[in-house]
Structure 1
Amino acid sequence: MSQATQQDVGNGVIESVSGPVVTARDLDARMNDVVYVGDEGLMGEVIEIEGNITTIQVYEETSGVGPGEPVENTGEPLSVDLGPGMLDAIYDGTQRPLDVLEEKMDSAFLDRGVDAPGIDLEKLWEFEPTAEVGDDVEPGDVIGTVEETVTITHKVMVPPDYEGGEITAIESGEFNVDETVAELDSGEEVTMHQEWPVREARPSVEKKTPRKPLVSGQRVLDGLFPIAKGGTAAIPGPFGSGKTVTQHQLAKWADADIVVYVGCGERGNEMTEVIEDFPELEDPKTGNPLMARTSLIANTSNMPVAARESCIYTGITIAEYYRDMGYDVALMADSTSRWAEAMREISSRLEEMPGEEGYPAYLAARLSQFYERAGYFENINGSEGSVSVIGAVSPPGGDFSEPVTQNTLRIVKTFWALDADLAERRHFPSINWNESYSLYREQLDPWFEDNVTEDWSEIRQWAIDVLDEEAELKEIVQLVGKDALPDDQQLTLEIARYLREAYLQQNAFHPTDTFCPPEKTYLILTAAKTLNDEAFDALDAGVPVEDLTSLESAPQINRIGVQEEYEEYVADLKDDLTEEIRGMY
């Protein structure tokens, strides 16, 4: 920053330091301005201004920083660098590229004050114009493309805050992100590099009702509790119940064009697993590396607490940028509880009035601001794109009544409740089908009926009814025992067992069962329904329930998930079930 600029914005001096919260005097700043604190130039953000005293949250460790050291104001809010190069990248919470910093420091441990731009400013990209000289362009319009990765074509857009105008010069060739690729008659020059404040949503024309599902390949989700493209979902669960594995499965298999994975305050070994696994994973749609359409933001629990508060906004801003190109983006936030804890720590250091369980009074508002940036949008350039947000929640002790879970439930429309008891019984994914719900079911049913089968909603409702009845019967069984039940209720429990084992359980580590297309999800239900219908007919004909609960062919229903040629397998299994049961009477 030039000397003139420094004098214009006005610098200050540190007055006090309390963890990541620093107060400065004589700093001429506005709310959310980025500042550099102390002799080492630690990055921070203005969060409170009172008279001559400015309060700053610092995104790095502040030990050793003391009063009297300078504070330098940039006069700009916290922003991210947007442009080609964000995919196949690993960032920290403020979009510093960790691999670049590691090379810079020649160490995995970073010194304070070290910085690097979010995208490579020197790398040359092959720019191919899609607009011509003389074309009128408006903010958001695509003027050219760049092959960002083998999977994703990056669309170069006129920034949303430009006026637009007629193109006076544009040509193909190799450019770095800061070189002009097009000139407008308004005097504006378009580059491949944009900057955008992370706390401000990128503009759109309209937020539409989502009508297409985000197909995840997880039976319990797609079948019972679907999420729409542009929808919101929460995955709350206690320690060890499988939140992170469920997030990983969604990141690997969901049919989004782009995945933004935000590791917010999670354990370092879990983020290490993501960072090591994802580059080796193959994208099931293209056969290319999964990282070619993934951007990772790693902000582990040992990183500075203030950066944890910003990493969520960094992730959603990157997601919105790709949405503006017309892509469907899935953002995984693991976990929003750690984000809320970071807000709570900073709030307490600011001596703000605490709300429930010490969280700040604005917790619900911040959660709403984040989740409301999800949606299915008509963009300002006429394209349509979506941002789906799936946030893990880590309630202490698995208590869903705590503030973060409860406030999240008021906002999201899909709730996947993880259950520690199911996890202990080795039932994975350990999603409790009695507590979970999806408010997208009815608006997504037409898509499933058009693209999978006409009776999708009917057979799903049958499965829900059987599982609901099983939950009621289990309470009776605990009192009087299974043998005291009438034969038809004993048979219902047997059918429900196959639904749980074959349909609700899924092996994330099996090469075939890890991903289940909706067609296979449907066929598993049809096999269980065949068993149900034939067995109840036989029971009515006088066949003992003991014979119907010890069929030789029925256990084969549990094998459907691991079959590659599942259509033929299910057809043969239905024939075997029908033949065996009808042979009893």
Structure 2
Amino acid sequence: MSETQRIGTVRDINGPIVTIELPGIRHGEQVKIGDFGLFGEVISLSGATAVVQTYESTDGVRPGEPAVGLGWPLSVELGPGLMGGIFDGVQRPLEKIALQSGDYIRRGIDVAALDRSREWAFEPNRELEVGQAIAPGTILGTVQETETVVHRILVPPGVHGELEEIAPAGDYDIEATIARVAAASGRSQRLRMYHRWPVRTPRPYLRRDDGVAPLITGQRVIDTFFPQLKGGKGAVPGPFGAGKTVVQQQIARWSNADIVIYVGCGERGNELVDVLETFPKLDDPYTGRKLMERTLLVANTSNMPVVAREASVYVGITMAEYYRDMGYDVVMLADSTSRWAEALREVSGRLGQMPVEEGYPAYLASRLAAVYERAGRVETHGAGSGSVTLIGAVSPPGGDFSEPVTSHTKDIIETFWALSKELADARHYPSIDWVTSFSGHVHTAAQWWHENVDGSWEDRRRAALALLARDAELSRIVNLVGPEALSSTQRWDLEGAALIKEGVLQQSALDEVDTFCSPEKQFALLDLALTIYDLGAELVKLGVPVQELKRQPLLSRARRIKSLYSSEQLDEIEAFRNEAEKALKHLRQEYATQEEQAG
């Protein structure tokens, strides 16, 4: 036992809540409980009596068994070896655990998150010299963590002083000393390639900046209609079966972030198994290498301990902040924050705290806000700008968006991708409802689209959403009195909206050609649909029957062109656009000639 560890006694057990007697214990400190050595953390303290929430089942633990204080709060190890890893809710490596205990995690098993036996090729920062002042965020050197990710070894927060020595280039394990720093007190401090950080404490940065570029996901309904900035906060609420997990997996696979962190928080085991088995096989569309070279997974399924579920989101966001501090753009996906909130509710109930809305604790809103506020684009201490984009799935019971988790989340986030059960039942995927969803980043995103794709993006987006809004109103009229009550112009509005819905908004994750759509192709498809609608609207005003327009072969082809041509075949899409314009203008000439002859 180390000097920081102290031994006390278990007094009472209530599910995952254990009361212990341990003099000198601190609030938030990690504890090992009982003969099994179950891990937990102190959440309430009164003198030497502490209430501990354990990350594992307490079945079989008895009063009188030992409780050991470890001397530090719930923390994660941050260093080379994280990338490509699969961890549980408290950062234990699942692949190593599987070798030791099989398919189920043995209670009390203690496996270090980072491999102590592996050596890394360390390349020191050539600009550093002995005697130079060192501060948090100073880059000591680099390690090629994967073929895709260069791991920058940073001076940890809280370390200041004068560089006494730095290791030469060579292979070192993470416990090796790579630098020594003399503090102002004269005490020498050794620095290794990794350090620990408490997960409930946000990592420091110089200042927070505004987002400047959208997170490109390759999903048209997101990028074109409801964009998310790098460093933004988003939510994907939706009822069971609406496709939340698929949307998040598509973002994880195709987004242009440098690092992807996927946190499976309380979801069904079969869904997470699909993620764990699929991701290692996927190719990175940006590098051509394996996607796992820039991805790490945190898995805490619904049958795993509920308290570890609550911790998993903090573990994920802390690792995201760590790579942000290296100057990377990180996207973290939490699936789902509803299960995380349910863990809060269960623990607060065990503690006898007063419940409020639907049994959730009174601090639900503040906890949600504290987690989402750790996202953002920041100026780091030593590596320039970095960002954490946080996107949380929300699972409202029965699809009720007025329930507490969804309503509080909606007040916090900036981008809201609301999934619709009606669209999912109609096999319209992604089932993001264009009426209920919103984005607060449209103006900033428009500047990026203007500079990189087309200056008319904002106008075309606005025109498409206005047409979809008219479609929603007209559809209600049709349901009440039938299509005969509509004018020709209104019937063409319905047809134009259907063209946008089927030709632009719908996108199959299983379509090899259309699963990812570049911004250039996104705009080309949107512009094509609106061009056909605009030309058709002119013809309708001249008296061309809507039925005659609907018989045009180009309409059915316009709906399918998204799957006919890839993002590299923009010339073919442009050729079809010209062909469609020519066909509709020819129809106009024909009709004008017929009118003249009839006159």
What's the TM-score, normalizing by structure 1?
0.97
Partner of 1:164: 161
Aligned to 2:94: 98
**8 A Cα contact 1:235 1:393, kept in partner:** yes
For the 8 Å contact 2:267–2:300, the answer to whether it is kept is yes
CA RMSD between the two structures: 1.2
1:580 aligns with 2:574: no
CA drift at 1:483: 2.2
Which position in structure 2 is the counterpart of 1:75?
71
Q: Which residue of 2 aligns with 1:114?
A: 109
Runs of 4 or more, structure 1, over 4 Å off, are none
Deviations 1:104-148 (A, max 9, x none): 22x112211111111111210000011433343321111110010
Shift of 1:259: 0.4
- Residues 371-520 of structure 1: pairs in structure 2 closer than 5 A: 371-520=372-521
Q: Residue 415 of structure 1 contacts residue 437 of structure 1 at CA under 8 Å; is this kept in 2?
A: yes
For residues 463-489 of structure 1, give each alpha carbon's deviation from its aligned partner in whole angstroms, at most 9, with x where no partner exists. Answer: 011001111111111122112211111
Q: Equivalent of 2:80, from 77, 84, 93?
A: 84
**What is the one-letter code of the residue matched to 1:172?**
A
SS in 1 for 2:412: coil
CA distance 1:167–1:561, change in 2 (3 Å): farther
Aligned counterpart in structure 1 of residue 140 of structure 2, from 136, 139, 143: 143
For this pair of structures, how many residues does the alignment match?
580
Q: Counterparts in 2 of 1:26-37, with a 5 A limit?
A: 26-37=22-33
1:566 to 1:482, Cα distance in 2 relative to 1, 3 A: farther
Counting aligned pairs with the same residue, the percent is 47
Query: What are the ranges of 5 or more consecutive residues in structure 2 without an aligned counterpart?
Result: 592-599
Kept in 2: contact 1:16–1:23 (CA 8 A): yes
Aligned 8 A contact 2:378 2:385 in 1 = yes
Which of residues 38, 44, 49 in structure 2 aligns to 1:42? Answer: 38
Counterpart CA distance in 1 for 2:379 and 2:72 is 29
Structure 2: how far apart are the matches of 1:119 and 1:583?
68
CA distance in 1: counterparts of 2:422 and 2:537, whole angstroms: 31
CA–CA distance in structure 2, aligned partners of residues 313 and 72 of structure 1: 23
Deviations 1:58-111 (A, max 9, x none): 001110001111110012100000000001100000000011111122x11221
Structure 2 residue aligned with 1:173: 170
TM-superposed deviation, 1:567: 1.7
Counterpart Cα distance in 1 of 2:542 and 2:445? 39
Cα separation, 2, equivalents of 1:362 and 1:137: 40
Q: Is the 8 A contact 1:353 1:360 kept in 2?
A: yes
TM-score of the pair, normalised by structure 2: 0.95
Q: Does 1:218 align with 2:213?
A: no
Letter of the 1:182 partner, please give it: A
Q: 1:278-297 residue pairs with structure 2 within 5 A?
A: 278-297=279-298
Q: Report the secondary structure of 1:287's partner residue.
A: coil
Q: Distance in 2 between matches of 1:420 and 1:530?
A: 30
Q: Distance in 1 between matches of 2:159 and 2:429?
A: 50
**Equivalent residue, structure 1, for 2:123:** 128
How far off is 1:27 after superposition? Answer: 4.0
**Retained in 1: the 8 A contact 2:41–2:53?**
yes
- Cα distance in 2 for partners of 1:569, 1:287 equals 25
CA deviations 1:275-315 (Å, max 9, x no partner) are 00000000000001000001100000000011001000000
Give 1:382 deviation, angstroms: 4.9
Looking at structure 2, the residues matched to 325 and 139 of structure 1 have their Cα atoms a distance apart, in angstroms, of: 12
1:464 partner letter: L
For residue 171 of structure 2, give the secondary structure of its aligned residue in structure 1.
strand
Q: Which runs of 5+ in 1 are unaligned?
A: none
CA distance in 2, matches of 1:167, 1:533: 71
Contact 1:158 1:164 survives alignment (8 Å): no
SS of the residue 1:553 aligns to = helix
By how many angstroms is 1:355 displaced? 1.3
Distance 1:128 1:256 in 2: 25
Change over 3 Å in CA distance of 1:170–1:223 after alignment to 2: same
1:169–1:184 CA contact under 8 A, matched in 2:
no
**Aligned with 1:11: secondary structure?**
strand
What is the CA distance between 1:573 and its match in structure 2?
1.8
What SS does the aligned partner of 1:392 have? strand
SS, match of residue 410 in structure 1? helix
- Matched to 1:112, the amino acid is R
Q: C-alpha separation between the residues in 2 aligned to 1:323 and 1:424? A: 39
